Amino acid sequence: MKYIIKNKIISFGGSSTVKDEGDNDLFFVKGRIFTFTKFKTICDLDKNPLYKVRNKFFHILLPKVFIMDAEGNRLLTIKKKSLFSFKQNFEIIPEPGCPFNISVQGDYIGRHYDILDNGVPVAHVRRNFNLIRDSFWLETDLTENAAFYIAVVIALDNYYDKLQESND
């Protein structure tokens, strides 16, 4: 199934919508207006929180992004593997008890990513650049973990947003 994550054109908190190929709403991503950590919540259609994503407030070279469950318990930390790496590969550091063992491997320009679970590809992410807003396409056959994979995509978006802010 293909999930399309589009950042809203005008959004004070960085909210997004997640739709299928038929333009049907599947998930909502709510962002906060006044936050330095780009705190976002992935919600189902009934607005129940499923996962939370936020950036580390202070970083020296490489930003870190945290994925938490609905209660706020940290599951993963995502950061780029190397400062001087040409490929966009990310190190995923799971917390004890985390049910996911994933890695993220990207291409050279940060447009295509594969999400691997125990070394097996489970999802493919395509990042679309646009002058007004960016969007992501997530393709996976594992619909039971779709919300988690969407949280990973939101974390990647937060990572690049943080990098862009650092360079401004």
pLDDT in tens, the chain (168 residues): 999 998 755 555 567 889 999 999 999 988 766 656 578 999 999 999 999 998 776 556 677 899 999 999 999 998 887 666 667 788 889 999 888 889 999 888 778 999 999 889 999 999 887 656 678 999 999 888 899 999 999 888 887 765 555 443
Q: For position 153, which CATH number holds?
A: 2.40.160
- Give me the number of domains the chain comprises: 1
- The DSSP annotation for the chain comes to -EEEEEE-SS-SS--EEEE-TT--EEEEEEE-SS-SS--EEEE-TT--EEEEEEE-S--SSS--EEEEETTS-EEEEEEES-TT-SS--EEEEEPTT-S--EEEEE-SSSSEEEEEETTEEEEEEEEE--SS--EEEEEES-GGGHHHHHHHHHHHHHHHHHHHHHH-
pLDDT of residue 166: 47
| Residue ranges making up the domain that contains 84 | 2-167
